[in-house]
Amino acid sequence: MSLKGYRYMENDFQVTSDMKKDFEDNGYIIIRDLLSNDEVKHVEHALTVGKFQEHTYAVPDGAGQETHMIMWNHPGEDVTGMVARSEKVAGTCEQLLGGEVYHYHTKLMKKPPKIGGRHIWHQDYGYWYNYGCLFPNMMTVFIAVDKCTRSNSCLQILKGSHKCGRIEHVKVAGQVGADMERVNELAKSLPLEYVELEKGDALFFHSNLLHCSSANTGTDRRWALLCAYNRADNNPTIQHHHPQYVPLKKVADSAILACHNFTALEGKHFIDPISDKRPGRVLPLHEQ
């Protein structure tokens, strides 16, 4: 049975008190049809027509498989930037987090069929804590570019686990993930949910929500666009590979389809874990 979700209605969408309560109680909300079919096609075209794919790097899963990732720090002026800057994405995050947010990074997670690797249980704040973010006033929007099902490795979450606070993250089976003794104890009392999504559906989730995904052993790829945000008053105290506070210039939802900038990627600052050697940098190989 699919999880409870809200539905995006063009020109008639607002963050309700029920949405805020669900986010506070459960650590997430699902918004169905956040991107229309036309918008999903528009985004996918932007991701494939230009040089986006040249920035792909592999994330080994510790079990002989790998996931492919493209990550960038600033939204930019292209179609993907309009998604990250849109009211229905960034504006919804501001209302759920209770304050101004800025763009922390966006990534395209690509799990190829048959070989797409797993991601072990973790919290995003389990990593971001180490980057000088003092409070977990942060969140991610997982937007399905492809249909996400159990067979092609949809996200799994422990409902309400954001209330347990940050869990120590340690080396687990070749990755960095949450202490599994703690996770196993939490799993005894918290519901395990499989977040199955149609194209364009989105999961808005808190930075302390425990989540994982299995290897993609199915025949369908799983692409997802993940936009991460930090509250403006939670500016990181150290410089690291993701940006400190930069004001976010939000745009109307209509800007996504109105934008036909598919190939100009200036200013996005793509992450390159091999050549980017800035001092103090922590490689983001295990995020998501």
State yes or no: pLDDT of 239 exceeds 80.
yes
In the chain, the percentage of residues whose pLDDT exceeds 90 is: 83
Confidence bin at 275 (pLDDT 50/70/90): low
Higher pLDDT, 72 or 285: 72
- Domain coordinates in residue numbering, the chain: 17-250
Long-range contacts (CB closer than 8 Å, 24 or more residues apart) made by 246-252 = 246/74, 246/102, 246/103, 247/102, 248/75, 248/85, 248/90, 248/100, 248/101, 248/102, 248/103, 249/85, 250/85, 250/86, 250/87, 250/90, 250/91, 251/82, 251/85, 251/86, 251/87, 252/86, 252/87
pLDDT in tens, 98-128: 999 999 999 999 999 988 888 899 999 999 9
State the burial class of residue 64 (Cβ atoms within 10 Å of its Cβ: 0-12, 13-18, 19+): exposed
pLDDT of residue 174: 65
The reported pLDDT for the residue numbered 175 is 78
Average pLDDT in the 201-214 region? 97
**pLDDT recorded at residue 282:** 45
CATH code: domain 17-250 is 2.60.120.620
Q: What does the pLDDT read at residue 46?
A: 98
pLDDT range class, residue 276, cuts 50, 70, 90: low
Q: How many residues does the chain have?
A: 288
Q: What is the pLDDT of residues 18-73, one digit of tens each?
A: 999 999 999 999 999 999 999 999 999 999 999 999 999 988 777 888 889 999 99
